[in-house]
Structure 1
Amino acid sequence: MKTSEQSKFGLTSKILAGMAGGIILGLLLRNLFPASEFIQEYITEGVLHVIGTIFIASLKMLVVPLVFVSLVCGTCSLSEPTKLGRLGGKTLAFYLFTTAIALTVAILAAVIVHPGNATLVAENMSFSAKEAPSLASVLINIVPTNPLQAMTEGNMLQIIIFAVIFGFAIAHIGDRGKRVAALFEDLNEVIMRVVTLVMQLAPYGVFALMAKLALTLGLETFGSVVKYFFLVLAVLLLHAFIVYPTLLKLFSGLSPFTFIRKMRDVQLFAFSTASSNATLPVTIETAEHRLGADNKIASFTLPLGATINMDGTAIMQGVATVFIAQVFGIELSITDFITVVITATLASIGTAGVPGVGLIMLAMVLNQVGLPVEGIALIIGVDRLLDMVRTAVNVTGDTVATLVIAKSEGEFNENVFTDPKAGKTSGSFDKEVHRGQ
């Protein structure tokens, strides 16, 4: 009985406790010592910043080797060029389809609710956005000129392309390729073990991240953009818990309730880190060991999704575009709305899975329809919190696509999916709970 009670307090419970504890500590310090330089310098930017940054760095440390090795392993097993092409086509089509749905729903919601008010325009709004890449440059930069440089810079699209080509070559050189493939399989196991070790530090990292957020988030901006904030939040939740489960049931027949229950760890990580790339090790581990997707599918669809599938960001861009147009009293035509959908859908391909990058891509979308980029200053105060939610939406969409495609390719283990203990007792996240009992 004791073992059962202890096992319930697994990773999800620990992360939730870390999140709650961090928020409570941050709010207490903020209200008890509102102007304390000591708190600001030694707690917020000192202890909490160091712990949170180390945790994020430890996750990002795993991204490049995990993506490269797992994708090479997956591609090695796809020896048929037609199968690889079919898998890539299905993945890209599904991601673009869900992004288009997200944008359409977001724009319709913004038009109906009308969150923007022309009286909100501030005299001294400013936002300096980096120049967003053009579609042509995105397409050109997909192919790496230097694979090692792509790895050191974390250029995920280039890493994915090189890994696919490398794995495809291994699969077509006979016995020598099999020896190399076996080496990569062993490396993949080692990296997954490292993922498990890093996950044990998660509750402490999440505690520090949430405490710092509670200490630094500017709540005074909520008053002017409260309708925008809650509208984006509502559409994000609708997409995550209605649209995705519906698509999962429609295209694969799998239980949405089982899926949502097993996705909690991934969603919490994505929420606390606000980075699809940093969450990628957890997403891959969950998709394979908790949800039953084969490695050859998950290692292809999930890294690709973390790079190009940004439904949460698309929702923000759709609502924000209409909101800024309403604030400045600018009427958008049907053509403008269509342009926003197309531009933002294609822009998602070039959107990196790191915190805050959605604002840069929003600048490109606003320019495309002739809206003032300065309007971003209205929403930047609350974007950090929304960024955390939309990252959770993004990784949920990546995983839904993985399960749908794995089921369609016959590379799916339904016994793992239906087993509530799958991935928990086989050496993954909660293995440490059972030690010493």
Structure 2
Amino acid sequence: MLFVSFVIMAAVIYGLIYLKKKKVPFSKRVVLALGIGVILGIVFNQLLSSTDGTVFSDWISIIGSVYVKLLQMIAIPLVMVCVLLAFTKIEMKTNVVKLGVTIVGTLITFAGIAGMVGIATGYFANIDGKTFTLSQTALSAATEIEQNYVAGGDHTLSLPQKIIAIFPSNPFYDMTGQRASATLGVVIFTLFLGIAYLKIKERKPQEAAFFKQWMDSIYEIIMSVVRLFLSFAPYAVFTIMVTTIVNNDLSAVWKLAQFFVACYVAMLIVFALQLVIIAFCGISPLRYLKRAFPVLSFAFITASSAGSMAMNIEMQEDLSIPKGISSLSASFATSMGMCGCAGLYPGIIIAIVAMTQGINPISPQFLFYAAFMIAMTSFGIAGTGGGGTVATIITLSALGLPVGLAGVFIAIEPLVDMGRTVVNLNGGVVASAVTCKVNGIDLKEAKASDLTLN
């Protein structure tokens, strides 16, 4: 059966390559790869033994894992180029402050709103946290995260210290991605480079023009690399989905089904709110969904906000959002205000834990204070592994609630993270749309061309 499984996988990949040669649209190939991956993942989960399943997933995951690493490899250079390019597209320095404040303010505010949605969903789902068995493994995992990210080190609960920690002391070290807030550190360093460009723009126009031309060239080269990587997306989506399902214990997921459903209900509510805001800013929700579907589906499969950033920027440009705004918002959205990971997910668990302590989580005093803490802890969370759990434990600690129960849900976090990434990515689009609205940019005149990748 193991050999047959490899043959089937090879046949599907060949079929996807054949469809590309036949000029089948990129979005259709991604959706088809997703559907086939789900079906084969379930089939192989049931037919392969645990030993064969491990061997199978180890080999098949090479394609998806390498693909994700390639996207991670280009993420930091892409962030730097996009932020710098945004400055070259802005005429007045005062616009930079206004754009930056609007984007960051929107991301952080919506993270707090998403947190309130999560708290309300967790409350009305009526999930009894006392019925969960708090194993030593789950407790140890939660305690270790609390020690690493709350007590000591570069990550403390103190807001002033947290603000200081996000500033890079060595930007080249942050470019290696070693710090939890490395991406945010790179963004901050690049912001200063952009401000320096604006300062010499009037005094030394020749040098500024050379820098702008150089950045335009670098951007085209980087985007060429990105498009090359993205052309392999259907094969990566297919293999990632198969290995994700094969590697998960379906019975364990079933035991946590109530929590799983609550998470996705909260995501749908937040997603609907995001569409309302996008519509208010002048973009038709139907038109947006048509353009965004390939990007959102890709984000769902890879569960990587940074990896989806390139497609996100191109999709926003297709909606006629100015490149200066889309580049800034997409870059900021990978490092702060993640309304999925740092907003609604912590909110749901906070509600469950609060009820075990006899606290009414939807009482105004608790609800708004928890939302504020969720918003404040959303800085730099995206740069950490298991960001949703980290954000949850930090916020639980800030609220004086026990953190152990957060460890119970680590088992299904990878499945929840897929939906959270979609909400995270959509939050960046909301920030762009709001920024356009604030700056009087009419998005109703957007072109009707589709997003295509060959």
- Fold equivalence (TM over 0.5): yes
- Runs of 5+ unmatched residues, structure 1: 433-437
2:442 & 2:212 partners in 1: Cα distance?
A: 21
1:108 & 1:413 partners in 2: Cα distance?
A: 33
Corresponding residue for residue 433 of structure 2? 403
Q: Map of 1:328-367 to 2, 5 A cutoff?
A: 328-332=356-360, 334=363, 335-353=365-383, 356-367=386-397
Preserved contact between residue 171 and residue 186 of structure 2 (Cα < 8 Å)? yes
Structure 1 residue aligned with 2:89, among 77, 87, 96? 77
AA matched with 1:216: N
2:294 & 2:314 partners in 1: Cα distance?
A: 11
Structure 2 residue aligned with 1:394, among 424, 427, 430? 424
1:191 & 1:295 partners in 2: Cα distance?
A: 15
Corresponding residue for residue 108 of structure 2? 96
AA matched with 1:190: I
Corresponding residue for residue 11 of structure 2? none
Structure 1 residue 118: deviation in Å? 2.4
Preserved contact between residue 103 and residue 318 of structure 1 (Cα < 8 Å)? yes
Corresponding residue for residue 197 of structure 2? 170
AA matched with 2:53: I
Structure 2 residue aligned with 1:195, among 215, 223, 226? 226
1:270 & 1:353 partners in 2: Cα distance?
A: 16
Preserved contact between residue 93 and residue 198 of structure 2 (Cα < 8 Å)? no
* Structure 1 residues 249 and 23: CA distance shift in structure 2, 3 A: closer
2:310 & 2:254 partners in 1: Cα distance?
A: 37
Corresponding residue for residue 270 of structure 1? 299
* Structure 1 residues 414 and 186: CA distance shift in structure 2, 3 A: farther
Structure 1 residue 386: deviation in Å? 0.9
Corresponding residue for residue 317 of structure 1? 346
Q: Map of 1:47-86 to 2, 5 A cutoff?
A: 47-86=59-98
- Runs of 5+ unmatched residues, structure 2: 1-18, 150-154
> SS of 2:306's equivalent?
helix
AA matched with 1:24: I
Corresponding residue for residue 156 of structure 1? 183
Structure 1 residue 256: deviation in Å? 1.4
1:253 & 1:81 partners in 2: Cα distance?
A: 26
TM-score by length of 2: 0.85
Structure 1 residue 54: deviation in Å? 0.4
* Structure 1 residues 100 and 136: CA distance shift in structure 2, 3 A: same
2:129 & 2:441 partners in 1: Cα distance?
A: 51
* Structure 1 residues 30 and 339: CA distance shift in structure 2, 3 A: same
Residue 39 of structure 2 corresponds to residue 24 of structure 1: yes
TM-score by length of 1: 0.88
Structure 1 residue 330: deviation in Å? 3.9
Residue 139 of structure 2 corresponds to residue 139 of structure 1: no
AA matched with 1:91: I
Structure 1 residue 409: deviation in Å? 2.8
Residue 128 of structure 2 corresponds to residue 116 of structure 1: yes
* Structure 1 residues 354 and 199: CA distance shift in structure 2, 3 A: farther
Structure 1 residue aligned with 2:259, among 228, 243, 246? 228
AA matched with 2:216: E
Structure 1 residue 237: deviation in Å? 1.0
1:73 & 1:205 partners in 2: Cα distance?
A: 29
The size of the alignment, in residue pairs, is: 413
Corresponding residue for residue 33 of structure 1? 48
Preserved contact between residue 309 and residue 331 of structure 2 (Cα < 8 Å)? yes
Q: Which runs of 4+ in 1 moved over 3 A?
A: 121-125, 332-339, 410-415
Preserved contact between residue 277 and residue 354 of structure 1 (Cα < 8 Å)? no
Q: Which moved more, 1:149-158 or 1:274-283?
A: 149-158
Structure 1 residue 410: deviation in Å? 5.0
* Structure 1 residues 254 and 30: CA distance shift in structure 2, 3 A: closer
AA matched with 1:39: G
Q: Map of 1:221-260 to 2, 5 A cutoff?
A: 221-240=252-271, 242-250=272-280, 252-260=281-289
1:271 & 1:376 partners in 2: Cα distance?
A: 22
Residue 239 of structure 2 corresponds to residue 215 of structure 1: no
Corresponding residue for residue 304 of structure 1? 332
> SS of 2:321's equivalent?
coil
Q: Which moved more, 1:364-373 or 1:185-194?
A: 364-373
2:379 & 2:68 partners in 1: Cα distance?
A: 23
Structure 2 residue aligned with 1:372, among 365, 383, 402? 402
Preserved contact between residue 72 and residue 167 of structure 1 (Cα < 8 Å)? yes
Preserved contact between residue 118 and residue 329 of structure 1 (Cα < 8 Å)? no
* Structure 1 residues 221 and 339: CA distance shift in structure 2, 3 A: farther
1:322 & 1:407 partners in 2: Cα distance?
A: 34
2:286 & 2:384 partners in 1: Cα distance?
A: 29
> SS of 1:179's equivalent?
helix
When the two chains are superposed, the root-mean-square deviation of aligned CA atoms in Å is 2.3
AA matched with 1:221: A
Corresponding residue for residue 435 of structure 1? none
2:75 & 2:167 partners in 1: Cα distance?
A: 19
Deviations 1:174-233 (A, max 9, x none): 211110111011110111111111111001111111111111112222343322211110
* Structure 1 residues 337 and 400: CA distance shift in structure 2, 3 A: closer
AA matched with 1:139: I
Preserved contact between residue 293 and residue 402 of structure 1 (Cα < 8 Å)? yes
Preserved contact between residue 26 and residue 214 of structure 1 (Cα < 8 Å)? yes
Structure 1 residue 20: deviation in Å? 2.0
1:184 & 1:337 partners in 2: Cα distance?
A: 45
AA matched with 1:17: L
> SS of 1:308's equivalent?
coil
2:307 & 2:67 partners in 1: Cα distance?
A: 10
> SS of 1:104's equivalent?
helix
Deviations 1:20-63 (A, max 9, x none): 2222222222211233x24312x212x22211110101111111
1:185 & 1:195 partners in 2: Cα distance?
A: 15
Preserved contact between residue 210 and residue 272 of structure 1 (Cα < 8 Å)? yes
